[in-house]
Structure 1
Amino acid sequence: MTIGSAQCRAARALVELDQAALAEAAGVSRNVIVDFEKGRRTPTRNNLAAIQAALEAAGVIFVAENGEGPGVRLRKR
């Protein structure tokens, strides 16, 4: 599943990460996060996978299209 920019913003909000912290956790530049979330560009496959992995490690679960659109939720602790 490929995450979208809105899912990225929502996921960051759920785990209270700012763009700089997500960039550091994913090993990408902050500009990659900023441009992705603003819809300016889609990160490379590797960068997108790293962003998703960092958010999942922080406790996010990405929900695929379910008739209402893709979404995010927190993993039970």
Structure 2
Amino acid sequence: MARAALLWSRDDLAAASGVSWRTITRFEAGESVLPPRVQAMRRALEASGTVFIDSGRLVGGVIPPRD
């Protein structure tokens, strides 16, 4: 959802995070991905201004950056 909100392709996220597009595809399909790779993707998305909701009723949600 965060990647889609940014209108990023898998290649865009791969370039920003240093994680392969194949890993991104596996992650988005719900397959197992090493935690350091997940953190690299998260850091890249957060650097773009995306905010992840880590607690409360909306846990798991994202707030896309404002234009």
TM-score (norm 2): 0.85
1:29-44 aligned at under 5 Å gives the runs: 29-41=20-32, 43-44=33-34
What is the deviation of 1:47?
Answer: 0.8
What are the Cα deviations for residues 15-56 of structure 1, in whole angstroms up to 9, with x where unaligned?
Answer: 111111101111011100000001122x21211110000000
- Aligned CA-pair RMSD: 1.5
1:44-55 aligned at under 5 Å gives the runs: 44-55=34-45
Larger proportion of strand: 1
Question: Gaps (5+ residues) in structure 2?
Answer: none
Partner residue, 2:64: 74
TM-score (norm 1): 0.75
Between the two proteins, the alignment pairs up a number of residues equal to 67
Question: Gaps (5+ residues) in structure 1?
Answer: 1-9
What is the deviation of 1:59?
Answer: 1.3
Q: Percent identity?
A: 33
Structure 1 segments, 4+ long, off by >2 Å, are 74-77
